[in-house]
């Protein structure tokens, strides 16, 4: 599926990308951590384009906040960065899961509590948010938004009825939150002098740590002891945010509470998932969401996608002259398919840099034009050829038909569609915005034969669930605890199906 | 060279893309030609992003005009399209060659003349604009801008001193203009009921004709007699603007004046270049500017670029494990290099969808970060490997170093740069904005060895001028008159060096 | 003082204007109460121009909210009004007292509580906000802003420690708030089906009730029984917001809690001020803030200002040819002065409709130009004449000098300044933003003789405190309980000086 | 008529205000003339609010231009002023008379001619624009707009057929223009080193000269020889633009061509009106358009308006308790009426500072609410009283009714309307945008009795044409040539009725 698709009506959407940074004693005077956070948030822009926000502090409870609707590069300006003073801060990119996308819901959420100011950036979705909301309201707190982040923030502030956590012991409050709402979140919780980087006990959403390297590139390149030159620490949804001036350190573990201060990073606790439950890292981060150069569980996402393509070639071979991808979402899998099958790899479609708009009144040619404004066939590789077109996934199936039509008009003799993930059939309650059951193409058609007939493909085949798991898990250290959430493919939900299920 | 580069400080910039359309008697009632022009201008967006404009008419001299700074999709809205009523119109995308980018210079340029309203859209640059300007001013006309388009428009309006062309005989006026200023332009000249599509006698800038097919896709697909269903005619800088609802017809010939009316298209005249001069189609349209799926001189640009890559592999072979491109500008050449050399093709860099901004104060790490916000290395294909990185061209050479650094840090064992065009050394006076002589990397360094040393490459090699010409001309019908401008590579200017040369 | 002055650096600023409306069974179907609220907020625009906001409901807990920076007419559009559906709502105009003027502080403040949604609009300032804030934070609530309105809202939501008010008994919660924070506020508290209109026990800020008359003007004019035609109820900071489609009913009493529902308005309780304390309605509402046609304590503000001018003529007579005002703030007092003294009333200055901006770099002529862009002398009434110029008040005294200079250059023989209120000397902690002690002209100069010398006036005289009180109280029903806050003039604070005094 | 009225649907609109400035040898280094022009344009803002523009030069033909839609204070910023470098410049405020209000029509209009750059700012309207346009087009010039200013500019550039004016003799070209189009214009024509200030031979539109005084106010105030300190010259539509840092010098005479250079101002020629034609200065400048403190023909406008009010009291006396005005347009006349009649002067209506918008769907109460959002009655002066309400003029008569209704509801016993100018009955072709004949109330009703009945006034009376002329001409030096255009009142057009009359 084309990664641009989530700008349009037909893709999957994340809720969020989060990023935090804190300078240590090497942090250059007069340099603002906001600059690092801006670089990080831009590299995480694919995880949310609706709004962005940042909170920084100069070490006091007077937090500086800027939030706004739109892309990082539009919301922040050189001027505004200059005003965001401090060497500790967190940021957030958001893609709303609800219809109401208002400024008021922008994260991070900031409150002044009895134990100082508190800011929270959240990626994920609380499966039992209804119950938690009831508890917080019942304690006499008014909630000003519907957002999970405000809910989490106020839950952290509240004194438990039994008074157990009634001091500034934030780790205790975080543990308490994990009991009340174990799924799903990755959090950056910022106080005036520290950030808590937290991943839910199931490890559903990603989170990783990095180091800020010497700000002078020459030093970095000159080799030297980079460790010694480190100027601080960062935490990010994905490691793609790190290069070139930050360096990957490690993932935050499922259930881990990491405290980041100017003295370094420290594990405070690792809370296991509930008994009888296993880890549940979202497998679609590998398939679709993450940037190809991000690292999860010790492996680069690109390599996993190449293995998916190879596995797909094994499961669903076909004779052809050329393998290509829907750029750029299917690139890695197409590389794998070509490698495994020996069929040459080539560009079948070129993607227009400037994605346009159709000004024509809705009609039956609208979608065809929309697709043609985005993709153009390359005659050189298509005309007179039998071709295999690879994509990473298919959600609504709206664009397959128009793409095949483009290829046929350009002279393709045969068009075989291969999808490097299994059919998407079930809703997600853990932070991914999946279309309604009725909109998912996999629920609409009897089988891939009917699908192929409908869109005029010579064949359409998906990767199997087992094949996907194999591709993902093959090179993970067998001694690590692993476990992946495949709920949207299989209907098997890690924490059970939530009561308030309203799909 | 990365196609995004012209958003930044280091690329080449076009002056323009032009597009025109006129409906015939099949044109649907209540449908606005502005919709077709918007689709065309969006598909030509790569030829100019600074401003855009459109002029349409309902068949009267009361032309409707909309122009604005920015991209087509931002300047035009569904509302504004609705107001641009008519079934004849022309449009323009502009990238300023002068420092002054103001709304007032947006094209098309419109005037009311004694023989009715006139609109002009121009791609190219008048080599002798100084002399022509003097002539027009000397006739007592005030010029409100520095733009060639206004100059051309007023020159067309003026009565020649000898009174030869003193009626509404526009073709005579156009021929007169061709004598006064033979180089370089492709023009759309719109009157209330016709468009003149004109290419300069040297054929320096591209221009082609197409048909508007049936607006009902089903009809198109159903086969039938598409010709019969044609709803009108279009003219465009490139044929990439045609699919899926328009169909390529043919190129406008060098020196040709084509009249487009609701009755069809008609050649009025074909003016040859001055005696002793040959045709001079810009060779950089093949190398860099055009979309890969555009067709010039009967061949798809992509295929030419593949042959450039093959030729490059022949001229400058090297042993390696993987060939890849700077996405997406080097894709076709990398495919050709891989094909010719047998070295596997793979992604070495992934390009970020959301090109960001660096908020860091200028410093020696600024460019490195800028490049890293745009490209990330794919460990899977880079780590431990000897790689060949292909790009279509190198202008300032600013980004090569940072890219090589990214690849080396990602573990590349060897990095060989191959450039699928010759070194750029001379200015262009025909519509391409080339950096100053001092900024061109090819003029700064002794040889490619010094270049390679400076940027830490294992080797850097360019395609030869002869190799480029061979790749371009190999499959052109040997019976056609051909001739390509290579001035920026060789210093051989088609019309001689202009007097006012001030490079 | 010129009423425009609060756009600039030198005036007093309100915190707020509040307005609420609820339709009854006569309220026309498909008509939105938001329209009425927009009219009301525009008529209250003088009480706050920084931001505005509105909350409406269709009778459910799903409140519709719109807030924004700027004037009512810019924030709300015909479109947005259409989306603000419902027949109950409250609105707010704000002028920040703190430096931080951010969207996040816009009112009304809305929360979802355990007993339904709650919106609060507040005019005033909590004298003991520090103590109340501590209490709320101590209960484990995080506060996301520094605004009194959020503080009041969360205080209303909280269950008291003794559990006394632990149900949806909002009046009990409001009474509890009055004990915790008796000064100063006028509030509109909106639930899904009712509005509580509340004035603090001291009656410091104004608040009054009105009826929505028949929406068909003809009916109104035709006489008939307007009562029968009433379509609902409104509550407003000032009665100037009522005409022509609403009708003044009565003031909300100090300490009164009025419940407005679709069945009518009902007094729930009247809480008296603390023992030994008397009422304290802000006397500067009469002098400066209120529109001249508003009604407080049974009398029109204009008449009070006329009496101030008459009293001023009695206290400080002077021989002259013409009395005039700084338009329009001094108009009523000038009328009174003329009436009492028999000196003709005439325009001395004309005010420019379009208040401009000076683009000149700060210099000693800057203020002079600023004043001249705003006021121009009328030679007809000034040249060769002895003139008395009346203003309602003087705060910083910055513009007096430039105005006198304009008049002298226009040929005034003598210029006597008369100020229709006493010197402003002390800070306000009840919602008025008064410049620092050092900036107040009355604290900078020894006496009015020195002041007159400094600004080249022939004389300057102020109204006495006793004279002001006399003018204000003369026509109030002697049987009503009355009491006016004169803290900014006398330093006598109604509730004592707050602990956290940091003037 | 309320001066705000031209923001709404019912008033008269000017076409323009023009302003020019040039520094002499005393002009401070590093100070931009653009600052002076901004002050001037802001003081002329009442003459046009739709768009504004400025052209300045540093003494070369490279003119710096900035234009935009909206008010002066919004279009220009401190930044943009800094970029408008030079010590010569002209500016323009525009209110479109045509429906098409586009940026392209903003003035000043700038062209590069064979004799250097040329900028033109124009107030007025060419009565014979059709014929002039034909002439210019016939010479082979294309015109890019419908604006008179472009037409004038191109006409100035053109070489006459007989070649008479074929050098850089701009005064000869201006004289030639005066023959081609004698009515109506006031012009600022700027070259790189001079400004020509020109008034048409009839003197229809105003124009006057002033000096830039010492930029240091202290010097000005310290007396000294201001003449010696003068730093340059200004030209302006009205003298209200001069204070406090410029000083009125004199009017430009009808038909006069004044050359302003750094050496001073010089009369080049005075062209008389055609034989048998007399001067025709627009009498509505006195009645309505000009600021009250502007000076025309040696007299302050305010004084003329006072005399209009006095004359009105003589022509149409009535017994009453209070005279007041529609603020602020009727202020001066009300002062005169009160003075003449002895009836006390008082405020009857207070005008809201923040003119609002009605969000209610159009209905019969819409206009009533609109008027009430703008004006509120002052009970103190209205209740139980017989009142006379004065306005300067009545155009459509739309707001009289709602205002009377407001006053009656406020308790007025009698309401007498007195209008300080005669009924408006005919169109203007000289730059004033008058509603269509059918919309003018004076053409709709039989007589003032019917008018009074319709709007529920006790009486309505207008000033007579003779009375107006007497009030205007009474104090003009009897030796000056005078003559006033009263075409809109009498139908007597100064240059005859234009051929293309299409009212």
Domain CATH for D208: 3.60.20.10
Helix (H, G, I), strand (E, B) or coil at A293: coil
Output the pLDDT for position B361: 53
What positions of D carry a catalytic annotation?
16
- Whether D492 is in a domain gets the answer no
Tokens of D447: 């007589």
Residue D348 has pLDDT above 90, yes or no: yes
Q: Are residues D446 and D354 in the same domain?
A: yes
Q: How confident is the model at residue B481 (pLDDT cuts 50, 70, 90)?
A: confident
CB contact under 8 A, A153 and C140: no
Output the pLDDT for position A112: 94
CB contact under 8 A, B216 and A364: yes
Residue carrying the six token digits 């609380």: A126
Which of B18, B160, B39, B163 minimizes the C-alpha distance to B94? B18
- Whether A477 is in a domain gets the answer no
- Give the C-alpha separation, C125 to C431, whole Å: 5
Q: Phi-psi region for residue D433, left (φ > 0), alpha (ψ -120 to 50) or beta?
A: beta
Of B302, B332, B376, the CB nearest to A293: B376
Tokens of A2: 């084309």
Residue C102 has pLDDT above 80, yes or no: no
Q: Are residues A201 and A319 in the same domain?
A: no
Q: Does A30 touch chain B (CB under 8 A)?
A: no
CATH of the domain at D388: 3.40.50.2020
Q: How confident is the model at residue C503 (pLDDT cuts 50, 70, 90)?
A: very low
Pick the residue with more confidence: B343 or C216? B343
Q: Are residues B262 and B160 in the same domain?
A: yes
- Residue B278 marked in a binding site: no
Output the pLDDT for position D305: 98
Residue C162 has pLDDT above 90, yes or no: no
Instruction: Quickly list DSSP for B78-116.
Output: HHHHHHS--SEEEEEEE--SSS---GGG-SSEEEEETTE
Q: Does D42 touch chain C (CB under 8 A)?
A: yes
Residue A447: Cβ within 10 Å count: 8
Output the pLDDT for position D105: 73
- Whether B2 is in a domain gets the answer no
Q: Does B459 touch chain D (CB under 8 A)?
A: no
- Give the C-alpha separation, A1 to C74, whole Å: 42
* Total-model pTM: 0.87
Output the pLDDT for position D4: 36
Strand A459-462 vs strand A208-212: parallel, antiparallel, or unpaired?
unpaired
Output the pLDDT for position A8: 33
CB-based touch A/C (3+ pairs, under 8 A)? yes
Select, from the ranges B457-471, D33-47, D203-217, D351-365, the one with the highest average predicted confidence (pLDDT).
B457-471
Of A478-487, D33-42, D337-346, where does mean pLDDT reach its minimum? A478-487
Q: How far B89 CA sits from the closest chain A CA (Å)?
A: 15
Give kind and range of the element (H or E) at residue C249: strand C246-251
Q: Does A170 touch chain C (CB under 8 A)?
A: no
Instruction: Quickly list DSSP for D409-445.
Output: HTT-SEEEEEESSPPP-S--SSS-BPPPGGG-HHHHS
Chains in contact with A, where contact requires at least 3 CB pairs less than 8 Å apart: B, C
Tokens of D7: 């923001």
Output the pLDDT for position D223: 44
pLDDT (mean) for C428-439: 82
pLDDT (mean) for D240-245: 85
Q: Which domain covers residue C373, as residue numbers?
A: 299-469
Q: Are residues C125 and C237 in the same domain?
A: yes
Q: Are residues B252 and B310 in the same domain?
A: no
Q: Are residues B219 and B251 in the same domain?
A: yes
Q: How confident is the model at residue D209 (pLDDT cuts 50, 70, 90)?
A: very high
Residue D464: Cβ within 10 Å count: 16
Residue C62: Cβ within 10 Å count: 11
| D chain contacts of residue C369, beta-carbon cutoff 8 Å | 39, 244-245
Tokens of C298: 């049974």
**Which tens digits make up the pLDDT trace of A354-386?**
876 666 555 556 677 888 889 999 999 999 999
pLDDT (mean) for C269-285: 92
Q: How confident is the model at residue C467 (pLDDT cuts 50, 70, 90)?
A: very high
Tokens of A322: 């050329």
Residue B52 has pLDDT above 60, yes or no: yes
pLDDT 10s digit of each residue in chain A, 503 long?
443 333 333 466 666 999 999 999 999 888 889 999 999 999 999 999 889 999 999 999 999 999 999 999 999 998 889 899 999 999 999 876 543 556 667 889 999 999 999 999 999 999 988 999 999 999 999 999 888 889 999 999 997 766 666 778 999 999 999 999 999 999 999 999 999 999 999 999 999 999 998 655 444 444 445 556 789 999 999 999 997 789 999 999 999 999 999 999 999 999 999 888 899 999 999 999 999 999 999 999 999 999 999 999 999 999 999 999 999 899 999 999 999 999 999 999 999 878 766 665 555 566 778 888 899 999 999 999 999 999 999 988 889 999 999 999 999 999 999 999 999 999 888 888 777 788 888 888 889 999 999 999 999 999 999 999 999 999 998 888 889 999 999 999 997 766 555 44
Counting one residue from chain C and one from chain D, the pairs whose CB atoms sit within 8 A come to 189
Q: Which residue of B has its CA nearest to D145?
A: B111
pLDDT (mean) for B150-173: 84
Which of C353, B327, D450 minimizes the C-alpha distance to B335? B327
- Residue C157 marked in a binding site: no
Residue A161 CB contacts under 8 Å (≥ 6 apart), including other chains: A139
- Give the C-alpha separation, D282 to D269, whole Å: 22
Q: Are residues A382 and A235 in the same domain?
A: no
- Give the C-alpha separation, C65 to C189, whole Å: 14
Of A104, A118, A138, the CB nearest to C142: A118
pLDDT (mean) for B202-220: 80
CB contact under 8 A, C378 and D292: yes
What positions of C carry a catalytic annotation?
16
CB contact under 8 A, A154 and C137: no
In this structure, which long-range contacts are made by residues D494-500, counting pairs with CB atoms below 8 Å and at least 24 apart in sequence? Answer: D494/D183, D494/D202, D494/D204, D494/D277, D494/D278, D494/D280, D494/D430, D495/D127, D495/D182, D495/D183, D495/D202, D495/D274, D495/D277, D495/D280, D498/D127, D498/D128, D498/D429, D499/D128, D499/D130, D500/D130
Q: Does C226 touch chain D (CB under 8 A)?
A: no
| D chain contacts of residue C3, beta-carbon cutoff 8 Å | 353
Q: How confident is the model at residue C150 (pLDDT cuts 50, 70, 90)?
A: very high
**Which tens digits make up the pLDDT trace of C4-56?**
333 333 466 666 999 999 999 999 888 889 999 999 999 999 999 889 999 99
- Residue D148 marked in a binding site: no
Of D300, D350, D368, the CB nearest to C291: D350
CB contact under 8 A, C245 and D369: yes
Output the pLDDT for position A29: 84
Chains in contact with C, where contact requires at least 3 CB pairs less than 8 Å apart: A, D
Q: Does C390 touch chain A (CB under 8 A)?
A: no
User: Alpha-carbon torsion B61, B66, B72, B73, what sign?
Assistant: negative
- Give the C-alpha separation, D415 to D404, whole Å: 7
Of B138, B146, B157, the CB nearest to D114: B138
Q: Are D304 and D292 in contact (CB under 8 A)?
A: no
Q: Are B32 and B82 in contact (CB under 8 A)?
A: yes
Q: Are D302 and D64 in contact (CB under 8 A)?
A: no
CB contact under 8 A, C243 and D365: no
- Mutation target vs A (from B72, B219, B229, B244; most A CBs, 10 A cutoff): B244
- Give the C-alpha separation, C375 to C50, whole Å: 24
Instruction: Quickly list DSSP for C371-396.
Output: HHHHEEE-HHHHTT-EEEEEES--SS
Of A3-12, A295-304, C89-98, C168-177, where does mean pLDDT reach its minimum? A3-12
| B chain contacts of residue D109, beta-carbon cutoff 8 Å | 144
* CA distances (Å), origin B168, targets A486, C51, D140: 73, 60, 11
- Give the C-alpha separation, D100 to B1, whole Å: 45
- Residue C329 marked in a binding site: yes
Q: How far C191 CA sits from the closest chain D CA (Å)?
A: 25
| B chain contacts of residue D156, beta-carbon cutoff 8 Å | 142
Of A82-86, C345-349, C360-364, D418-422, where does mean pLDDT reach its minimum? C360-364
Q: How far D139 CA sits from the closest chain B CA (Å)?
A: 7
Q: Are residues A303 and A273 in the same domain?
A: no
Of A35, A217, A373, the CB nearest to B43: A373
Helix (H, G, I), strand (E, B) or coil at B215: coil
Output the pLDDT for position C119: 97
Q: In what order do the strands lie in the sheet with C386-391?
A: C322-325, C386-391, C414-419, C459-462
- Mutation target vs B (from D68, D139, D142, D159; most B CBs, 10 A cutoff): D142
Residue B164 has pLDDT above 90, yes or no: no
CB contact under 8 A, D379 and C243: no
A142 phi and psi angles, rounded to 5 deg? -90, 135
- Whether A282 is in a domain gets the answer no
- Whether B337 is in a domain gets the answer yes
| D chain contacts of residue C70, beta-carbon cutoff 8 Å | none
Output the pLDDT for position B501: 52
Q: Burial, A50: exposed, middle or buried (Cβ in 10 Å; 0-12, 13-18, 19+)?
A: middle
- Residue C101 marked in a binding site: no
Tokens of C258: 């009025």
- Whether D462 is in a domain gets the answer yes
Which of D146, D150, D237, D141 minimizes the C-alpha distance to D186? D237
CB contact under 8 A, A144 and C118: no
Q: Are residues A93 and A234 in the same domain?
A: yes
Q: Are C137 and C120 in contact (CB under 8 A)?
A: no
Q: Does B233 touch chain D (CB under 8 A)?
A: no
Instruction: Quickly list DSSP for A369-394.
Output: HHHHHHEEE-HHHHTT-EEEEEES--
Q: What's the total number of domains in chain D? A: 2
CB contact under 8 A, B35 and A373: no
Q: Are residues B389 and B344 in the same domain?
A: yes
What ipTM did this prediction achieve? 0.90
Q: Are residues B74 and B147 in the same domain?
A: yes
Q: Which of residues 69-98 of A touch B (CB under 8 A)?
A: 71-73, 76, 78, 81
Counting one residue from chain B and one from chain D, the pairs whose CB atoms sit within 8 A come to 65
CB contact under 8 A, A111 and C144: yes
- Residue C106 marked in a binding site: no
Whole-number average pLDDT of chain B:
88
Q: Phi-psi region for residue B297, left (φ > 0), alpha (ψ -120 to 50) or beta?
A: left
**Which tens digits make up the pLDDT trace of B78-115?**
888 989 999 999 999 987 654 355 666 788 999 999 99
Output the pLDDT for position D8: 33
pLDDT (mean) for D180-208: 96
- Exposure pattern of B47-83 as b/e (b: 16+ CB <10 Å)? bbbbbbbbbbbeeeeebbbbbbbebbbebbeeebbee
Output the pLDDT for position A502: 46
- Whether C82 is in a domain gets the answer yes
- Whether C477 is in a domain gets the answer no
Q: Is A106 a catalytic residue?
A: no
Q: How far A151 CA sits from the closest chain C CA (Å)?
A: 11
DSSP class of B439: G
Q: Are residues C273 and C411 in the same domain?
A: no
């Amino acid at each position: 599926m084309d990664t641009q698709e989530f700008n349009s009506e037909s893709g999957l959407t994340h809720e969020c990308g989060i990023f935090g940074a804190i300078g240590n004693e090497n942090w250059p005077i007069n340099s603002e951590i906001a600059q690092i956070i801006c670089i990080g948030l831009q590299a995480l822009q694919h995880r949310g384009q609706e709004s962005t926000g940042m909170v920084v502090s100069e070490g006091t409870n007077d937090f500086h906040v800027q939030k706004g609707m739109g892309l990082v590069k539009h919301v922040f300006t050189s001027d505004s960065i200059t005003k965001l003073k401090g060497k500790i801060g967190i940021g957030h990119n958001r893609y709303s899961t609800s219809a109401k996308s208002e400024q008021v819901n922008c994260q991070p959420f900031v409150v002044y509590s009895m134990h100082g100011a508190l800011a929270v950036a959240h990626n994920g979705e609380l499966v039992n948010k209804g119950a938690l909301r009831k508890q917080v309201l019942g304690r006499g707190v008014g909630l000003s938004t519907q957002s999970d982040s405000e809910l989490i923030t106020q839950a952290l502030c509240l004194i438990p009825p039994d008074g157990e956590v009634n001091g500034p012991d934030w780790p205790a409050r975080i543990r308490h939150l994990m009991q009340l709402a174990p799924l799903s979140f990755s959090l950056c919780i910022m106080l005036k002098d520290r950030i808590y980087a937290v991943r839910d006990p199931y490890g559903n959403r990603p989170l990783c740590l990095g180091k800020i390297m010497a700000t002078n590139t020459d030093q970095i390149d000159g080799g030297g002891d980079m460790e010694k030159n480190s100027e601080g620490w960062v935490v990010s949804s994905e490691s793609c945010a790190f290069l070139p001036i930050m360096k990957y350190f490690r993932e935050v573990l499922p259930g881990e509470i990491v405290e980041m201060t100017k003295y370094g990073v420290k594990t405070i606790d690792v809370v296991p998932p509930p008994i009888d439950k296993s880890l549940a890292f979202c497998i679609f981060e590998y398939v679709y969401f993450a940037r190809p150069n991000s690292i999860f569980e010790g492996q680069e996402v690109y390599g996993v996608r190449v293995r998916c393509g190879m596995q797909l070639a094994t499961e669903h071979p076909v004779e052809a002259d050329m393998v290509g991808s829907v750029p750029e979402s299917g690139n890695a899998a197409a590389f794998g398919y070509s490698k495994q099958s020996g069929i040459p790899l080539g560009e079948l479609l070129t993607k227009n840099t400037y994605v346009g708009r159709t000004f024509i009144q809705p009609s039956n040619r609208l979608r065809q034009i929309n697709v043609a404004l985005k993709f153009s066939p390359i005659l050189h590789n298509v005309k007179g050829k039998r071709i295999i077109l690879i994509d990473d996934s298919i959600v609504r199936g709206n664009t397959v038909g128009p793409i095949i039509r483009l290829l046929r008009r350009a002279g393709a003799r045969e068009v075989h569609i291969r999808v490097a993930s299994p059919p998407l059939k079930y809703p997600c309650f853990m932070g991914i915005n999946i279309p309604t059951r009725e909109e998912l193409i996999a629920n609409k058609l009897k089988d891939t034969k009917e699908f192929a007939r409908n869109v005029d493909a010579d064949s359409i085949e998906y990767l199997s669930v087992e094949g996907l798991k194999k591709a993902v898990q093959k090179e993970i250290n067998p001694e690590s605890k692993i476990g992946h959430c495949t709920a949207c493919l299989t209907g098997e939900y890690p924490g059970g199906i939530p009561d308030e299920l309203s799909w």
